[in-house]
Amino acid sequence: MKTLLVKGSEAIALGALAADCRCYFGYPITPQNEIPELMARELPKRGGVFLQAESELAAVNMLLGAASTGVRAMTSSSSPGISLMAETFSYLAALELPAVIVNVSRGGPGLGGIEASQGDYFQATRGAGHGDYHFLVLSPASIQEAYELTARAFSLAEKYRQPALILTDALLGQMKEPLRLRRLRFPRYPVEDWALTGARGRPGRTLRSLFLGPGELRARNLLLQRKYQAMRREARAEILYAEGAELVVTAFGSLSRIVREAVEMAREKGYPVAFLRPITLFPFPDRPYRKLAEGGQPFLVVELNCGQMVEDVRLAVCGRSRVESLALPPSDLPAPEDIYRRIRRCLAQR
């Protein structure tokens, strides 16, 4: 098995290639340019399509067109570009297209900055566009996981006929780690019964989202909601040191690595602290949260924004535990010691 030293962005591109992604459409934006650049080099060699679009708006609609033909396709961008795609996200969800979107997010609002930030948590998990819909949202914490989750995203997207979003940030996108190019065997799912491939030997097919007949749109919405319910079984989280924990510290994505270090620091000093990291942000893995809240242990939610995931944690624990927020708006990254001090304070309040 080959091991490479690559950036997170490159690992995402390699994960897409491992999943046999056939089409990439994108528009340049820092800090994710390594994805289109790697795809531009590699996809044509494999008989795939790389196309630089005139905007993120065009890119995501090219993605819509390609995905509608049942071909594995993706786009990637960073926060402002993702905002520009929002209208079409709603269409992708409405047309039930298996498309993969990557957000190597940066600080906002506005042009913001290019540092690591988790300010797009709401945008990712609540659906940036209009209407009642969700994306599947996966968030890796290492370069290895970025590779594997991207490949998995293609499989899940196909399984549920559903757009899947990888939410990561500048920190993971830009840092380098060894990547073991493991063979990935996520299943493929048939597309023949819905994809637009030309009406050979069958009636014409339509992918549409306009429903004006009485009750039609309601039925359509309920169908989507049933699917989102079914998707709950894909919820994933990493749980460490749950046994006898008196505080649960939770964080996602690259920041969770610093948080984990702080948790380990606390444990070395004898404090019984658990670590909980959601891997899927939608569906949110509320079961482990609920379970850990049964004993009434407090939670500390650490995030690189002004406090977004904390809302999902509060919903999951549903008043059983105290939930504290350590919200760190984009600036310098915290050191494990900063988080450790907050852990100490939380424990002192018991």
Number of other residues whose CB lies within 10 A of the CB of residue 316: 23
Interface with other proteins, residue 224, by CB under 8 A: no
203 binds other proteins (CB under 8 A): yes
The amino acid at 193: D
- In the bound complex, what is the minimum distance in angstroms from residue 336's beta carbon to other proteins? 44
Residue 51 interacting with other proteins (CB under 8 A): yes
Site for other proteins in 135-174 (CB under 8 A): none
We find the least distance from the C-beta atom of residue 14 to other proteins, in angstroms, to be 21
Distance between CA 11 and CA 179 in Å, rounded? 7
Burial of 46 (0-12, 13-18, 19+ CB in 10 A): exposed
- Of 67 and 166, nearer to other proteins (C-beta) is 67
Q: Which is nearer to other proteins, 68 or 139 (CB)?
A: 68
Number of residues that make up the chain: 350
**Residue 68 makes contact with other proteins by CB under 8 A:** yes
Q: Compute the distance between CA of residue 112 and CA of residue 107 in angstroms, rounded to an integer.
A: 5
Question: How many chain residues interact with other proteins (CB under 8 A)?
Answer: 40
Q: Report if residue 30 touches other proteins, rule: CB under 8 A.
A: no
How near is the Cβ of 32 to other proteins at its closest, in Å? 20
Does the footprint of other proteins cover residue 22 (CB under 8 A)? yes
* Interface of this chain with other proteins, residues 89 to 118, rule: CB under 8 A: 91, 95
According to the binding rule CB under 8 A, does residue 183 interact with other proteins?
A: no
Q: Which residues make beta-bridge pairs with 248?
A: 274, 299
Q: Which residue has tokens 């309920």?
A: 222
For other proteins, which residue of 3, 5, 30, 87 counts as binding (CB under 8 A)? 87
Q: How far is the CB of 23 from other proteins (least distance, A)?
A: 5
Using alpha carbons, select from 96, 101, 221, 224 the residue that is nearest to residue 161.
96
Shortest gap between Cβ of 77 and other proteins (angstroms)? 15
Cβ-contact 266, 273 below 8 angstroms: yes
How far is the CA of 346 from the CAs of 180, 320, 325, 326, 327, in angstroms?
A: 38, 16, 10, 11, 14
For the record, the structure tokens of 191 come out as 């597309």
Q: In angstroms, what is the minimal distance from the CB of 69 to other proteins?
A: 5
Q: Which of 12, 21, 35, 71 binds other proteins (CB under 8 A)?
A: 71
Location of structure tokens 């009485």: 214
Q: Which of 37-45, 66-74, 223-231, 291-299 is the region at the interface with other proteins (rule: CB under 8 A)? A: 66-74
Task: Output 69 or 221, the one with its CB closest to other proteins.
Answer: 69
Residues 6+ apart with CB under 8 A from 88: 57, 60, 61, 63, 64, 129
Pick the stretch among 48-56, 76-84, 110-118, 341-349 that binds other proteins (CB under 8 A).
Answer: 48-56
Q: Is 58 in the site for other proteins (CB under 8 A)?
A: yes
CB 176 within 8 A of CB 7: yes
Q: Could you tell me the two tokens for 33? A: 């340019």
Nearer to other proteins, 199 or 348 (CB): 199
Angle subtended by helix axes 56-68 and 86-94, to nearest 10: 10
Site residues, other proteins (CB under 8 A): 22-23, 25, 49, 51, 53-55, 57-59, 61-69, 71, 73, 87-88, 91, 95, 196-201, 203-210
